[in-house]
Amino acid sequence: TVTFADENAAEAASLQQGSSGAQVREIQQRLKNWGYYSGSVDGIFGSGTESAVIAFQRANGLTADGVVGSRTAAALGMTLSSSASSGGSSTSSDLALLARVVYGEARGEPYTGQVAVAAVVLNRVKSSSFPNTIAGVVYQSGAFDCVSDGQINLSPNDTAYKAAQDAMNGWDPTYGCLFYYNPATATSAWMLSRPVKLRIGDHNFC
C-alpha cells in the first residue's frame, strides 16, 4: 500500500504542468531572473512555465521535457522536497548557492572578505527583516549585484566553496553585519550613509 507520506514524496520528486505552490514560485522566479520566463510569478505551473523550463533545460544540456525533476532542480540551484526537513540535500544546494554569491560578488577579495560576504547572507537569513532562507535572501529583488548582472550563474571555484562552508560553520568576520558595499562603485545614498563597522579588501561592511 502507498501511504500518504509516500505519495507526498513522489509528488515532491518532480514538478510539472499542473503543479502549484511555493517551489513552483521559486522556479518561476529563478527562470525570470535568468531571462527564460516572462510570465507572472504566481506559483502555478502553466504552459508558460513549462516552455521556460524546456528552454532552460535545452540551454543546460538536460532532457528537455518541461518537468522539473531532481537534475533540473539541481541546475536551478534548488532541492525539491516535500518539506524543509530533507536534511543533507538542501544544505548542499544552499552551500552551492552561497558559493555562487561569494564567487559572483567577491572573487579576487581576500579570503576573509569572501567569508564575510557569505556571512552577510546568513546574517540576513537570521534577521527578521529579511527572508528566512538563503535562496530567499539571495534572490530578493535588488539585493545582490551578481543576481542582476548574471554573475550568480558562474561556476564558483574551490575558494568560494570553502568560504561559504566556513561561514555556514559559524565564522562571521563581520560580527553580525547585514550589508556590504564597494565604496568605489556604490551609488545608493542610503547605503553610503550607513555607519561602516569594518572594511575588508574593497568592501565596507555595515
Cα(206)–Cα(197) distance, integer angstroms:
5
Q: Tell me the pLDDT of the chain averaged across its residues.
A: 86
Averaged over 145-173, what is the pLDDT?
Answer: 92
pLDDT of residue 90: 52
Instruction: Name the residue type at position 5.
Output: A
pLDDT at 10 over 80: no
pLDDT of residue 93: 83
What confidence category does residue 59 fall into, taking pLDDT thresholds of 50, 70 and 90? confident
The β-bridge partners of 139 are none
Torsion sign, CA atoms 153, 157, 159, 163: positive
pLDDT at 67 over 70: yes
pLDDT at 5 over 70: no
Cell numbers 544552499: residue:
94
pLDDT of residue 20: 81
Q: If you write DSSP's letter for every residue of the chain in order, what string do you get?
A: ---HHHHHHHHHT-B-TT-BSHHHHHHHHHHHHTTS--S---SB--HHHHHHHHHHHHHTTS--SS-B-HHHHHHTT----SSTT-THHHHHHHHHHHHHHHHHHHTTS-HHHHHHHHHHHHHHHHSTTS-SSHHHHHTSTTS-HHHHTSGGGSPP-HHHHHHHHHHHTT--TTSS---EE-TTT---HHHHTSPP-EEETTEEE-
What confidence category does residue 89 fall into, taking pLDDT thresholds of 50, 70 and 90? very low
Averaged over 110-139, what is the pLDDT?
Answer: 94
Residue 204 neighbours by CB under 8 Å, 6+ apart: 180, 181, 182, 183, 196, 198
Cell (9 digits) for 100 = 555562487
pTM for the model = 0.58
Tell me the C-alpha to C-alpha distance, in Å, between residue 178 and each of 27, 56, 71, 129, 200: 26, 32, 33, 10, 15
Cα(89)–Cα(60) distance, integer angstroms:
21
Percent of the chain with pLDDT over 90: 55
* Closest among 172, 195, 90, 182 to 136, alpha carbons compared: 90
pLDDT of residue 61: 85
Contact 16, 45 (CB under 8 A): yes
pLDDT of residue 83: 39
More confident of the two residues 84 and 18: 18
Averaged over 164-177, what is the pLDDT?
Answer: 94
